[in-house]
Amino acid sequence: MVKIRLRRVGAKNQPSYRLVVADSRAPRDGAYIEAIGFYNPRTEPETLQVNEERALYWLSVGAQPSESAARLLERTGILAKFAQMKSGQANS
């Protein structure tokens, strides 16, 4: 199964994260298919950047976001846009 999840990067005690698409069997900081964004909770305000086009693509082909990734995608409005796309396709 393909998952959208966070990959920890950064120095000791200074975490930042990449939002990546990876096989669910791969380790947290191991191999990934594609990086689609990044998140830095240490800045004020928090830095969050996501490639919306790629995130929507991966969601449309069945990638499942982890809880933390889903929370970040919800904050950017990508999950709402995906739900709207999905319901629009179902009505067509």
2 alpha carbon, distance to own chain's centre: 12
The full set of domain ranges for the chain reads 2-87
> What are the C-alpha distances in Å from 9 to residues 13, 52, 92?
11, 21, 42
pLDDT, one tens digit per residue, over 22-59 is: 999 998 888 999 999 999 999 999 999 999 999 999 99
In the prediction, which pLDDT does 73 show? 95
Q: What is the mean pLDDT of residues 67-87?
A: 93
pTM (predicted TM-score): 0.85
Report the share of the chain in percent with pLDDT over 70: 96
What kind of fold does domain 2-87 have according to CATH?
A: S16 Ribosomal Protein; Chain: A; (3.30.1320)
